[in-house]
Structure 1
Amino acid sequence: MSIRTVFLAAGLSLAAGVAQATDYDPLRKDARMHSELLGASVAYLIDENCDALKLRKLRLLNKAFSLRKHAMSLGFSHGEVMAYVDSETEQDRFRAIAEPLLASKGVVAGQEETYCTVGRAEMEKGTFAGSLLYER
Structure 2
Amino acid sequence: MRDGLIAVGVADEIRKNCPTISARLFRALRYLHGLENHAKKLGYSQDEIDAYVDDKAEEKRLRAIGADYMRARGVVEDDAKSYCALGRAEIEKSSQIGALLRAK
Identity %: 38
- In the comparison of the two structures, how many residue pairs are matched? 104
Partner of 1:98: 66
1:46 aligns with 2:23: no
Q: Distance in 1 between matches of 2:29 and 2:78?
A: 28
1:83-122 matches, within 5 Å, as: 83-122=51-90
Q: Comparing both structures, which one devotes a greater share of its residues to helix?
A: 2
Q: Distance in 2 between matches of 1:120 and 1:64?
A: 22
Which AA in structure 1 matches 2:95?
T
Partner of 1:74: 42
1:53-68 matches, within 5 Å, as: 53-68=21-36
TM-score (norm 2): 0.93
Unaligned runs of 5+ in 2: none
SS of alignment partner, residue 120 of structure 1: helix
RMSD, matched Cα: 1.1
Partner of 1:10: none
Report how far residue 46 of structure 1 moved: 0.5
1:25-40 matches, within 5 Å, as: 33-40=1-8
Report how far residue 59 of structure 1 moved: 0.3
Higher relative CO (CA 8 A, sep ≥ 6), structure 1 or 2? 2
Q: Distance in 2 between matches of 1:120 and 1:86?
A: 30
Moved segments of 4+, more than 4 Å: none
